[in-house]
Structure 1
Amino acid sequence: MKRPHYFEQVLETARLIPEGRVSTYGAIADFLALGSARMVGWAMKNSFNSEELVPAHRVVNGKGELSGRNAFEHPDLMAELLISEGVEVKNNKVVRFSEVFWHPREMYE
């Protein structure tokens, strides 16, 4: 079954998030004019079925919380991957979230 076109747009946008930075479901939805962060969440949850690597660990909720961590092989993996890239995580939340936040429109600034 073919994935919806917006899935591919979300996954392609997620691949652009620089290492050591995070974006949010809402920022990606805003950038793609999807109107719903939930659509981005759905696409990210299904990104594990993608043939190409998608850095899903770099997408967090608007508060910087690792709300998608349960979609990973084990719940701590999302934090471990972020920490390995230099992003500080405490209690499943990105520390200094505003400093590492990346909005896709930054590509055009």
Structure 2
Amino acid sequence: MKRYGEMSRDELREELDRLEAAKRNAEFPSQREMLEQKIWMAKAYLRSDETFPQGVYKVAGRSEPFELKYVNGVMAWGRIGTEDEASFPISMLERREHSL
């Protein structure tokens, strides 16, 4: 199996469809959570050509604001809440209109 970084956009979309179907059919919460993380990573590779300037973002599934410091590949690095450093796939980021 190819790594997400080696897949074309069409292959990534096919993989996302496969993962979404597997998530719908998963029997256990842990299976759904694992598939959800794979989905976020595959989506990140679809967004890898986007620009993510430093600033405050909302992270899917989190209530605390995320202060983005830099992006390395498909991972966004910065601070969330009181954590020293945190990282999330760029697909989980949504730009906030107003800084805190």
Structure number with bigger Rg: 2
TM over 0.5: no
Q: TM-score, normalised by structure 1?
A: 0.30
> When you count strand as a share of all residues, which structure comes out higher?
2
> When you count helix as a share of all residues, which structure comes out higher?
1
